[in-house]
Amino acid sequence: MTAPAHTLPSKPLDRSIVDGPIPRAVWMLAWPTMLQNLIGGLQGMVDHALVGHFVGYAGNAAIGVAIQIFIVVIVFVMSVFSGMGVLVARFAGANQPEQVNRTVYQAFLAAVALWGLVLAPLGWILAPSLLGVVHATPAVRVQALPFLRIMFVGSIGMLLFFMVGGALRAAGDARTPLRLGILLTALNIVCNVAFITGLGPLPRLGTAGAAVGTTVAGLVISGLAGYLLLSGRLPVVWRRGMDWRPDWGIIRELFRFGLPTGMQGIAMNVAGVLLLRFIGSLAQSAEAQAAYAVGYSELFSFITWTSVGLMGAAATVAGQNLGAQRPERAVHGVHVAAGLGLGVAAAIGVLFLTIPRALLGLFGMTDPTVVALGTQLLAFLSVSGLFVTVALTYTGGLQGTGDTRSPLYISILSQIVVPLGLCTMFQATRGLHPADIWLAILFGHMTRCALSVLRFRQGKWRSIRVQLATVAPRS
C-alpha cells in the first residue's frame, strides 16, 4: 500500500547533525536529555517520601526491592530500542525518512509483542519467586508483590514512552522527548500522590498506589506520543497508508544490535547487587551502605545523568554521520562529547573534594561514622567521575555506530571482574575495608574508560553494515 496524497508530510530530518558544526550538534542533543534525567529523578524521591510517610519503612524497602527486580527484567525488553536507535540514526544520516518511520513502527510491534507475550504474563506469575531470590522479608513481600505485579502488567505505557523518546533522539529531535518527559514526571507525581494517599474519592492504595500512578501516567503520555506520531509534526511519522505488517528483516536487525545492550544492562545491575553484598559484609555495614546510597546512588548521579545525556548525543552524532558516510565527523562528535563530560565531571568533582560534609548534610547525613565514610567515598568518586564520563561517551560512539557487543564485553570485565575480583582478593587476604571497595569501584571505571577508548579508536565500527534484504519501502 502507498500513502495517500493528502496525508501530512513529516517534519524534515535535521541535517545539521551531518552538515553543521559538531559541537552545536552534540550540545543540541545532550542538554535536553540531561535536564530530563534531572527532572525524572524527582519522581523516585516523591514516591519514597510519600510511601515512607503513609506506609512506613517496609513500603520504602518494598519499592527499592521491587524496582531493582523490575529494572533487571525490563532492561532486557528495552534492548530492542537500542537496536532501533542504531537503525534510526543510520537511516536518518543517509536521509531515508521512510526507513526511519518503518524502523520505529517495527520496534513498536516488537515491544508490544514482548510485553503481551513475555513481560506481563510471566512477570505476574513469577513475581513471588523473584522476591524470594532477593530474600525479601515477609513484611516487605506483602508490600512489594502487588507493586511489582502492577508494574509488570502496566509497563506498556512506559515502554512506548521510551520507544518514542529514543526514536526521536536518534532522528535528531531531543526537545520533544524532553517535553514529554516533563509531562510524564509531573503527571506521575500527581497520580502517585492521589493513589498512594487516597486523594478525594480515590482509594488509599499505599505502596501499590505508586505503581498504579506510574501506570496511569505512562499510558496517558504514551497515548499523546502516539497521537504526535500520527500528526505529522515530528521527524518520525506513521501514516494511514503505510504497511502495517511485521518486517522480519528489520525486527531481526533490532535484536542483532539491541540484545547485547540488554545483556550489558543486566550485567551492570547484577554487578551492583553483588557489590552491595560486599558492603553488607563490612564491620560497619549499615554506615557504609548509607554512605554508598547517598554518595554513589544520589550525588554521583549528577555526573552519570550528564554523561548519559552525552552518551546519547555521541551515539546519534556517530550513527548519523556513519550513515551519511562521514566517519571522521563521527570521531569528532565523540571527542567533543567526551570533552564536555570531562568539564562537568571535573566541576562536580571539585565540589566532592571541597564541601563533602555540606553535600552529605543535604540528605540528613549527620552520624560521624557515616559522614567520614561518605567523605572518603566522595574523594574516590571525584576522580572516578572523570573516567566514567569518558567511558560513557565512547560507549555511545560504539553503540551508535552498531558496535553493541564490545560495550557488553567491556562492562563484564570492568564492572564485574575487576571490582568484584579486587573485593574478593582483599577479603580473602587481609580483610575488607570500605576504602578497598571504593578503590575497586575506581579501578573498574578506569578499566572501562581505557578499554572503551581503545576499542573506539580501533575503528572497526566503520565497517558495520545494516543487513536488510531491501531498503525500499514495500508497496
Taking only the tens place, the pLDDT of each residue in 349-408 is 999 999 999 988 877 778 888 889 999 999 999 999 999 999 999 999 999 999 999 999
3-state secondary structure of 168: helix
pLDDT computed for residue 9 by the predictor: 56
- 264 and 333 share a domain? yes
433 contact partners, CB below 8 Å, separation of at least 6:
282, 426
- The predicted pLDDT at position 86 comes to 93
Specify whether the CB–CB gap between 444 and 412 falls below 8 A.
no
Q: Tell me the mean pLDDT in the region 87-111.
A: 93
Are 384 and 429 within one domain? Answer: yes
Residue with cell 573516567: 387
pLDDT of 292 reads: 83
Distance CA 472, CA 475 (A): 9
Q: Which of residues 246, 278, 300 is at a domain's end?
A: 246
Residues 238-243 have a mean pLDDT of: 82
The answer to whether position 385 is within a domain reads: yes
Q: Are residue 71 and residue 207 in the same domain, yes or no?
A: yes
Same domain, yes or no, for 226 and 192?
Answer: yes
246, 279, 307: which is the final residue of a domain? 246
Cα–Cα distance, 398 to 8 (Å, whole number): 35
Task: Assign 266 a pLDDT band (cuts: 50, 70, 90).
Answer: confident
Asked, for residue 6, whether it belongs to a domain, the answer is no
- Tell me whether residue 277 is exposed, middle or buried, using C-beta atoms within 10 angstroms of its C-beta: 0 to 12, 13 to 18, 19 or more: exposed
Rounded Cα distance, 151 and 155, in Å = 6
Judgement on whether residues 214 and 332 belong to the same structural domain of the protein: no
Q: Indicate whether 202 and 277 sit together in one domain.
A: no
Of the two residues 120 and 474, the one the predictor is more confident about is 120
Cα 393 from Cα 452, distance rounded (Å): 9
Residues 320 and 223 in one domain: no
pLDDT category of residue 243 using cuts at 50, 70 and 90: confident
Report the domain count for the chain.
2
> Is the pLDDT at 329 greater than 50, yes or no?
yes
Burial class (CB in 10 A: 0-12, 13-18, 19+), 328: exposed
d(CA 168, CA 177): 7
Question: Which of 37-41, 288-292, 320-324 has the highest average model confidence (pLDDT)?
Answer: 320-324
In a domain, 263, yes or no: yes
**4 domain residue, yes or no:** no
Of 246, 279, 312, the domain-final residue: 246
Does residue 309 sit within a domain? Answer: yes
Joined grid coordinates for residue 27: 550540545
Look up cell 582483599; give the residue: 426
d(CA 293, CA 305): 16
Domain for residue 82, yes or no?
Answer: yes
Residue 32 C-alpha cell reads as 535536553
Residues 331 and 359 in one domain: yes
* pTM score, whole prediction: 0.83
Run of H or E residues at 278: helix 248-280
Cα separation, 213 vs 186, in Å, equals: 11
* Predicted pLDDT of residue 360: 86
Is residue 469 one of the residues assigned to a domain?
Answer: no
Given a cut of 90, whether residue 345 has pLDDT beyond it is yes
Question: Is residue 470 one of the residues assigned to a domain?
Answer: no
pLDDT tens for 408-417 read 999 999 999 9
371 and 446 housed in the same domain: yes
Percent over 90 (pLDDT), the chain:
55
Mark whether 356 and 447 lie in a shared domain.
Answer: yes
Residues 220 and 175 occupy one common structural domain: yes
Same domain, 266 and 241: no
Kindly report, residue by residue over 431-455, the tens digit of the pLDDT: 999 999 999 999 999 999 999 999 9
Which residues constitute the domain of residue 288?
A: 257-463
- 113-122, 206-215, 282-291, 422-431: segment of lowest average pLDDT: 282-291
Statement: residue 47 has pLDDT above 90: no
With a cut of 90, say whether residue 68 has pLDDT above it. Answer: no
Is the pLDDT confidence value at 475 over 60? Answer: no
Mean pLDDT of the chain: 87
